[in-house]
Every structure is written in C-alpha cells, then in structure tokens.
A = this chain, B = another copy of it.
Amino acid sequence: MIKAGIIGATGYAGGELVRLLMGHREAEIVWYGSRSYIDKKYADVYRNMFEIVEDVCRDDNLEKLAGEADVIFTATPQGFCASLMSEEILSQTKVIDLSADYRIKDVAVYEKWYGMEHKSPQFIKEAVYGLCEINREQIRGARLLANPGCYPTCSTLSVYPAVKEGLIDTATLIIDAKSGTSGAGRGAKVDNLFCEVNENIKAYGVANHRHTPEIEEQLGYAAGHPVTLNFTPHLVPMNRGILITAYASLKKDVTYADVKALYQKYYEKEKFVRVLDEGVCPQTRWVEGSNYVDVNVVVDARTNRLIMMGAMDNLVKGAAGQAVQNMNLMFGLPESMGLELAPVFP
C-alpha cells in the first residue's frame, strides 16, 4: 500500500486527487495538507467526502511528511514546492509536483514568465516532465516529477504527432484554448464569481500566459528545434474541461487518412488518448470525470492548414489523473490503476 501525502488538498486539483486516490486500491492518503483549513475536518471543506474521509486537514510541513509518506503530491501555488525542496526530502520519498516549478528546464525562462526567483534550480535537471504518453520510460525512475500543466497536456497531445513527424510548419502554429472555470482555482476573487463567469466568454493572458513556454519547450523536443507559437486561453462558463483548437500550415500534401494513420502510430496503444473517427470533433462533455484526451484533426485543403483539436478534463488528465498515472508508473503499478473511470455524461 502506497502512503500518499497531499499538500494543497483543498484546492480543486487537490480535491480531485483525493477523489481518485479513494478509488485506488494500492494507495492510501496519510496527510491532507491545507494551510487554510488546518485542524478542520477535510469533509467539512469538501462535503462530498462526508463519511468517506474522516481525517482533519494538516499543515504543509513537507519535511515531516517526507518521513511518513512514500509519495507526496504538491498541488500548491507556483514557487512553493521549489522553496522547500531538498535532497533530504527526495532521499526519503518521491515527489509529484502539480505546480510549474520543475516543468521548464531553462531556469531563466521560468523566472521570466513566472516573475519569481527559482529557489531550488539544482533539482530542475533531475525532474522528469510527466507527460506519460511521451516520457513513459524516464517517469518510471523518477524521484521528482513535474506534473504537466493542464493546457500543455491537452495542447501537446493534440499536436505532438504532427510536429514529431514534420507534417506542419511549427512557425505557423497557433493554439486557441478554452477552459472550464475550475482551472482558475478556488481562491475568492470577484472575477471568478458565478455572476461574472456565467453567460460570458473571454480571452485572458493573451500573448503572455505562463503555459506558453511549457508548450513551446515540449513541442521543441518533438520538432528537434525551438518552437515559438501563439497560445490564447479563454474562460468558459462550465466547471470542467479544456478544448484545444490548433492551426498550422501543412508542409506536405496529405489526406485525412494520412494524418489519422500518423496519429494512430503514436496513440493506438495509448489507453488514455482516443483518436476519434473522421468528422467527429472532440467535446469536453465526452471526457468529463475521466482521464481521457480525445483528439482529432481536419485537413483544410482550401487553406492548406491542419486543424488539430483535443478535449480533456482539466482536473483529471490535466492535473490529478495524470499525477496518479505518473504515480502508477513510478511505483511499477499498472498505469491505469485507479483511473478506469468512464466519462460521466451528462
């Protein structure tokens, strides 16, 4: 039985981790960390867990927790995990960091986009970027895992085969993303009030969203050269879900069948990436509550562009689900253990 500790257990991603780990037969949660609710019953904060979780919330003492847990999930604000990381911690436990602290290999890029000093750059090199479908082998041996961002997960998986195979001109790549509101977190802000989000759609972080360099780095590895792209997220009046619509110019004359074959080459054996049938557009409702990413493409001969689409639950494959998938890999368990959840509809 894997002993798991969660730092940040009362955010939306932390709450989803709790839900998923409650259904995982080889893991048990030993620490519900939540700075805001110390000593409060977890089920008094997340009442869905009434009579399911009996524990109280504890502080975010990473060092103490390292001695009690086999794996620590940090679902915390940027900079938190990096500020506390140490060799001592990593020598005692594995760490799966859901924040961005170890995702970007170039510390200068991190510091520029996140506007903060990185407090433990010595661990960046060691950290493994946990996009399971692409980095599976390195993940198995990781001590420190950088769990990918929600937008980067969906963006990268939607575009990866086309970039990897040199099908598209990466200089023309534009990613237009749409996200449900749980991605904005559980902080009490006027902008995230029901009446402000409901009956509304808006772009935000235009040309400067922090997930941009993460996507560029991952696609750069696939392309074999640096990639610079536009990434524009939008806030959608729904709880969960991310939809990616990506555009790029084709470098080859291809049919839908050609591109489909190429996507299947990468994803046919991947349980959690579903390449849809021709003509079917991904929709977030078809993946809600599950660890699936649904992808598909349209070849537009008129404009010579490939339109790549992906849909995903931002809290599952975009956060907690992928973290569990990474945990499974790191502990030698079947990759989909605890994640065999059919999407909930409607």
Contacts and interface: CB of A to CB of B under 8 A. Distances in A.
Interface string A161-179: 0000000000010101010
A108 to B, nearest CB: 15
* Residue from A46, A299, A346 having most chain B Cβ neighbours under 10 A: A346
A21 B283 CA distance: 23
Nearest to A47: B286
A252 interface: no
Contacts of A202: 243, 281-285, 311
A172 B22 CA distance: 43
B201 A284 contact: yes
Contact of A342 (B52, B203, B298): B52
A240 to B, nearest CB: 7
A133 B22 CA distance: 24
Nearest to A300: B207
A61 interface: no
* Residue from A19, A22, A245, A345 having most chain B Cβ neighbours under 10 A: A345
Contacts of A199: 180, 199, 238-241, 284-285, 288, 346
Kindly report how many copies of this chain are found in the complex they form together.
4
A47 B206 CA distance: 19
A200 interface: yes
Contacts of A186: 190, 193, 195
B234 A48 contact: no
Given A230-B307, A307-B206, A19 B342 contact: yes
B200 A197 contact: no
A190 B190 contact: no
Interface residues on A, range: 35 or more
Contact of A281 (B203, B247, B288, B346): B203
A19 to B, nearest CB: 5
Interface in A289-343: 289-290, 294, 298-300, 302-303, 305, 307, 309, 311, 340-343
Interface in A101-153: none
Interface string A204-219: 1011000000000000
* Residue from A18, A230, A298 having most chain B Cβ neighbours under 10 A: A230
A34 to B, nearest CB: 13
Contact of A194 (B192, B241, B277, B286): B192
A238 B239 contact: no
Contact of A284 (B200, B239, B294): B200
A51 B273 CA distance: 10
Given A181-B198, A200-B238, A200-B283, 18 more contacts: A23-B340, A48-B286, A48-B343, A48-B344, A178-B201, A178-B234, A181-B193, A188-B190, A194-B197, A195-B346, A196-B346, A198-B346, A202-B281, A207-B298, A230-B305, A230-B307, A247-B247, A289-B289
15 contacts: A48-B285, A48-B286, A181-B193, A181-B195, A194-B196, A196-B285, A196-B346, A198-B346, A199-B285, A201-B236, A201-B283, A202-B284, A202-B311, A228-B303, A230-B300
